[in-house]
Amino acid sequence: MPPPPALLVCFLLLLLAVPWPADAAEATAATRPLLFALRARQVPAGALPRPASKLRFHHNVSLTVSLAVGTPPQNVTMVLDTGSELSWLLCPPGGGGGGKGAPSFRPRASRTFASVPCSSAQCRSRDLPSPPACDGASHQCRVSLSYADGSSSDGALATEVFTVGQGAPPLRAAFGCMSTAFDTSPDAVATAGLLGMNRGALSFVSQASTRRFSYCISDRDDAGVLLLGHSDLPPFLPLNYTPLYQPSLPLPYFDRVAYSVQLLGIRVGGKPLPIPASVLAPDHTGAGQTMVDSGTQFTFLLGDAYNALKAEYLRQTKPFLPVLNDPNFAFQEAFDTCFRVPQGHAPPARLPAVTLLFNGAEMTVAGDRLLYKVPGEHRGGDGVWCLTFGNADMVPITAYVIGHHHQMNVWVEYDLERGRVGLAPIRCDVASERLGLML
């Protein structure tokens, strides 16, 4: 397998707050949802390091939000991640300014910054993959995050005032003030940290008491939308809901703070795959859960389900799509259902769609979301295109993961109040325009 390209194309969906009317009542402003527009950007590989509990693939559509943090406020850009809990900001050593290309938060410049002591309940959280620990010398609570490339980030657990959008009251929330800096490209959109949005006690969702949020990731620039807070969605968004899944007893390999749903089946070109229900459900250890994750690019299936999908997809595309036939090639070490397409051409339009069936809802992957052109890879006059479903056993991970690439042009709502995830296929540019007129 050839080494990965130096610059992997990623997309950052920048959130630009739509201001409310200046004369809106304070009570209305406090409860009205926040609407954001999204814009695509490029970031280099390694600019957004992933925790070890996340997949190590750097191709990444990430929702990023610009926040005001501290007093006086410092503007920072943070990646919005539904698969992570602890929010963190890069804090330079000594609390001064960060170096070139390393945006950061300056805790010593804020009057409202406070370290979390070892005696705090927040320092005893067990939701994180690596629980916080007490530094005996400073009596401060320390946190460590491990990354897929073998590096790690270490810092102190702290609290600070966060402000999101106009009219919203400031929120004091716990976060990691991390001392480790990461290389970024001067041409990239730099980020200062990550905003954890899963269901853990230390996530931004939990600390802000946000009970509902939703988004639509577009395949076009400036056409996506993020909605934070409760809102009765209009009739043009007929959501189908699937309940969040939670086993009755704690299981060692089940992530209880992830957005987990029940995967019941898979269809290829309308044909159901012969996958036993037991293969799609978590086992007695909790391994095999299905997670909806905005921080992972593609979708990953455990080995037995992936092999069934691969066999049927190759069978249905055999008459019109040449197979790569290279047993030594697997894009990003997990995507080995690959094809040859003449350079300068797109794959055939009649590709069979893949539908994921959930309890009460479904998600259909079709068109240009099915195959991905591998950068820099070619065979003679042909480019290499791979199916955007990966084999989780090759990574390896022990879960099904529904990535953001397959959430494009789908309205996705996280309803924590009723314990469910809503899905509705829609063009995101249409949803963004119509919601902007309504709110």
Torsion of CA 254, 255, 259, 264, to 10 degrees: -10
* 368 labelled catalytic: no
Side-chain half-sphere exposure of 193, counting CA atoms within 13 A = 30
Least confident piece of the model among 80-84, 235-239, 281-285:
235-239
The model's pTM is 0.82
CB within 8 A of 412, min separation 6: which ones? 214, 215, 216, 292, 421, 422, 423
Q: Decide if pLDDT at 185 tops 80.
A: no
Least confident piece of the model among 123-132, 202-211, 346-355:
123-132
What are residue 206's phi and psi, to 5 degrees? -70, -45
Least confident piece of the model among 10-24, 231-245, 259-273:
10-24
Q: Which CATH class is domain 240-435?
A: mainly beta
Measured distance CA(388)–CA(32) in Å, rounded = 37
pLDDT tens digit sequence for 88-134: 999 987 655 444 455 689 999 999 999 999 999 888 877 777 888 89
Mean pLDDT of all residues in the chain? 80
pLDDT tens digit sequence for 51-78: 322 222 222 445 677 789 999 999 988 8
* 382 labelled catalytic: no
DSSP state of 331: B
SS3 content of the chain, % helix, strand, coil (to 5): 15, 35, 50
Measured distance CA(165)–CA(34) in Å, rounded = 7
Quick one: how many helices (H) and strands (E) in the chain? 5, 28
Which pLDDT score is estimated for 218? 80
Q: Decide if pLDDT at 187 tops 60.
A: no
CATH code for 54-210?
2.40.70.10
Inter-residue contact 361 to 422 (CB < 8 Å): yes
Which pLDDT score is estimated for 173? 95
Q: Decide if pLDDT at 230 tops 90.
A: no
Measured distance CA(370)–CA(105) in Å, rounded = 39
Measured distance CA(54)–CA(43) in Å, rounded = 18
DSSP string, 184-230: --TTS----EEEE-SSSTTSHHHHTT--EEEEEB-SSTT-EEEEES-
* Residue 3 pLDDT class (50, 70, 90 cuts): very low
Tokens of 48: 């957004």
* Residue 164 pLDDT class (50, 70, 90 cuts): confident
pLDDT tens digit sequence for 363-403: 999 999 999 999 999 999 999 999 999 999 998 789 999 99
Tokens of 354: 């893949």
Which pLDDT score is estimated for 94? 62
DSSP string, 23-73: T--HHHHHHSPEEEEE------TTSS--BTTS------EEEEEEEEETTTT
Measured distance CA(127)–CA(76) in Å, rounded = 26
User: Identical fold at 54-210 and 240-435?
Assistant: yes
What are residue 30's phi and psi, to 5 degrees? -70, -25
Tokens of 54: 């996340």
Tokens of 94: 């000594």
Tokens of 161: 């005032």
DSSP state of 407: G
Which pLDDT score is estimated for 388? 97
What is the residue extent of each domain of the chain?
54-210, 240-435
Higher pLDDT, 253 or 36: 253
CB within 8 A of 131, min separation 6: which ones? 124, 125
% of the chain exceeding 90 in pLDDT: 50
Catalytic choice (135, 149, 221, 293): 293
Catalytic choice (81, 336, 415, 429): 81
